[in-house]
Structure 1
Amino acid sequence: MEIRERIIDYLVRNRVSTTEVADALGKTGVLPNVMPVNRGHYKAGKIKWIYAYEESNWPIHEQVQDIEEDCVVFVEAFDCGDRAVFGELVSKYILLYHQSRAIVANGKMRDAAGLIKENWPIWCGGLTPVGCFNRKPEKDFDEEIRKEHSERYDGAIAVCDDCGVVIIPKECITEEFLIKLHHMEEQEDIWFDRLDHYKESTFDIVCKKKYLDDQVYMSRRSLE
């Protein structure tokens, strides 16, 4: 199993939160202003990056024909204003017919009632009834932007939960980062254990890390 698949497997099996992943990334990686349409979903997977531009979703319809299964489809909207990139029809095509894990859009979505009724795993920058146009853009998409964003996002890892979306960059998909995630999970377990069972203050736990001085406790944790 490649390191990307091992990281995704660890994230999913342990339901590692976006909070923990962002902490492991040095408190970075969040997609700003992107929140879930439906609560309670957890998804992590390899990103397939697609785009819309010039208030047109023609490029999206074109690109989604060939997406592989089991990806998180990340849609970036360029010069689309407040128009929705797409709604229920395209979401169904991506999630059901192409068996994608989730949809993430940095722009808005439409058909909120349908998206909520189906309880689909979708994260976006808001909801609106006004969509992009089904027309071919007059100009070609900027090749430099396409190349830059494709190289940045295609093959990266998206982690999505009720807090939002965090992206693990491709340069961080390493053994070292997987070890960081293990340590982050262990730290969280220790912090809640010290709070719930040792009744320590959060100042002692988080700031002073007094548990590190408890040699018996730490030796026991290392054996678990």
Structure 2
Amino acid sequence: MNTWKEKIIDYIRRNRVCTTEVADCLGKSGVIENVMPINRGHFKVGNVKWVVADHESNWNVHKMIIDAQEHDVVFIEAIDCKHRAIIGELVSKYILLYKQAEAIICNAKFRDAAALIRENYPIWCTGLTPVGCFNKEPQENIVGTEWYNEHNALYDGAVAVCDDCGVVIIPKDQLTEEFYDKLVRIEEQEDIWFDRLDHFKETTFEIVCQKKYLQDELYMSRRK
């Protein structure tokens, strides 16, 4: 592992650091709003491959997923697609089986619900609908626009963490030693909080607000 990004992904995967804790490390931010799993029980983390669906068309999705790499989390960001499903079973199978991506996340709807549930695919989206996008090249070319360049710079190469609570994106400028240390500290804090709750029978006010455990020098010395 040569980079802090790789170390962060590995630490989150090995310790199953949940989206709640990651969002806390980001100052209670980073969530992709209204995106939830189609199938429960999946935990995925990986490099974000950002692709776009626009103007009620998934043409650019088909083009851009060709470059997805093994273990990527493919993030399909939809703009001006109304309430249409962006993709369904065929494209999901291509991404997850043939491209060997970790997961798919999308800020819009999917279709072919029965197949996606049957295959237990790791997909996070805003809901389901039978009405899909058109597979025609959009008349307006979004590639290269200011919006496209801004969102590509923001998301492509970031890190996504996905679980039953939703999806949190760790921005590229947070993939640092400092953020890695935050993850380690929050895992240690969670261990302490539940220990004080289960074995010391403290109230949540004493644990979370007053942090009485910090005054217990013997206890804290044993945690080092």
Please indicate the TM-score interval, normalised by the length of the shorter structure: over 0.9
The total of aligned residue pairs comes to 222
1:204 matched residue in structure 2: 206
2:137 and 2:26 mapped to 1: Cα distance?
39
**CA deviation after TM superposition for structure 1 residue 66, in Å:** 2.0
Cα deviation per residue 1:25-84 (whole Å; 9 max; x = unaligned)? 100001100000000000000100000001001111111122221100000001000000
Cα distance in 2 for residues equivalent to 1:30 and 1:9:
20
Question: 1:186 corresponds to which residue?
Answer: 188
Instruction: For 1:84-163, list aligned pairs within 5 A.
Output: 84-141=85-142, 143-163=145-165
Q: TM-score, normalised by structure 2?
A: 0.98
Instruction: For 1:24-39, list aligned pairs within 5 A.
Output: 24-39=25-40
Partners in 1 of 2:113 and 2:61 — Cα distance? Answer: 19
Report what 1:195 is aligned to.
197
User: Please, which moves more after superposition, 56-65 or 115-124?
Assistant: 56-65
**Is there any run of 5+ residues in structure 2 with no aligned partner, and where?**
none
Report % sequence identity: 65
**What CA distance in whole angstroms lies between the structure 1 residues aligned with 2:218 and 2:209?**
20
* Partner residue, 2:168: 166
CA distance in 2, matches of 1:201, 1:67: 48
Aligned to 2:56: 55
SS in 2 for 1:38: coil
Give me the whole-angstrom Cα distance separating, in 1, the residues matched to 2:115 and 2:177: 41
2:9 aligned residue? 8
Amino acid at match of 2:221: S
Matched residue SS, 1:30: coil
Matched, 1:83 2:66: no
| CA–CA distance in structure 1, aligned partners of residues 41 and 77 of structure 2 | 24
Counterpart Cα distance in 2 of 1:198 and 1:31: 37
Instruction: Please give the per-residue CA displacement for 1:136-164, whole angstroms capped at 9, x wherever unaligned.
Output: 11111151111111100011000000000
Q: Pairwise CA RMSD of aligned residues? A: 0.7
Residue identity in the other structure for 1:221: R
2:69 corresponds in structure 1 to 68
